[in-house]
Amino acid sequence: WSSLACSTYSTVFIKLISYKDVNKWCRKDKTSKNQKKPNIQILKVVKDVHPKDLVQYPNNLNLKDLYYFMFAPTLCYELNFPKTPYIRKNFLLRRILELVLLLQLIMGLIQQWMIPAVMNSMEPFNEMDFSRMVERMLKLAIPNHFIWLLFFYCYFHSYLNILGEILYFGDRQFYRDWWNADSIPYFWRTWNIPVHRWATRHVYKPMLKAGFGSSQASTAVFLISAFFHEYLVSVPLRMFRLWSFIGMLAQIPLAAFISRFLSGNYGNVAVWLSLILGQPIAILMYVHDYYLAHT
């Protein structure tokens, strides 16, 4: 439950930053008498809507608008979100059924496969038996990656589509073909579209406008991402070990190596190996430190 609470607080914090920034930009446009025209792109999703019917600043400043944004499956605030005309009941029921069944499967895999694999890894770590440590890590990599894929589907496809369907939310691009990624940057741009859009809109582009280089802006995005990854692990475990933070920062030189020496299918294999092997290493580090701190 502590992980869920931290995730909720982080999401609300990130959304409020977007809410504040967008209204700040609208206020500047209004005061400078150079207010931007309504985004006509949303009319592709919402039919028979005239631009005059779209919400304009400051008419969006009300609790209804704010609460809709808090529950909407997006991190980037807009005065006018794309909407669907009706709720597809069959689609909604399928997503709910997927979510319930797959969550049960994930819990079963964690209890019956993941936890025993982690507990069996403690002895080799305590004895610093390197060969057995590698063996246990590889055994842990299989259930960990399987659970990670199931969680990705549950959250980004089932859960976010449930929210979008209930709220008539029209923009359902929550992920792209990250499994085809032949580089680390492409993976991070496509596997979590809501976070990527937020980071691009509220961190990367503002830094470029402020005079920073693209590499500096990209590094700042990775640092922010690394902070939140560490926060979501360290606070629930009540430990400050920085393994997750270091793992995220290691993506920077890894991305440079893959971009320079690997491409195409070889780059895709390298990305998959980083996912399959990187996560169990971090898990074992945290479990080992947690075991030492509580025994």
* 212 in Cβ contact with 192 (< 8 Å): no
Find, among 94, 72, 69, 56, the residue nearest to 17 by Cα. Answer: 69
Active-site residue, from 50, 229, 288, 294: 229
Angle between helices 214-237 and 251-261 (to 10 degrees): 130
* 228 in Cβ contact with 158 (< 8 Å): no
Q: Position 139: which residue type?
A: K
Residue 1 CA to residue 281 CA, distance in Å, equals: 24
DSSP codes, 75-119 = SS--SS--B-SS--HHHHHHHHHHHHHHHHHHHHHIIIIIHHHHH
Active site residue 229: yes
Residue owning tokens 């741009």: 189
Structure-token pair, residue 179: 């499994």
3-class state of residue 213 by DSSP: coil
**So which residues are the catalytic ones?**
229
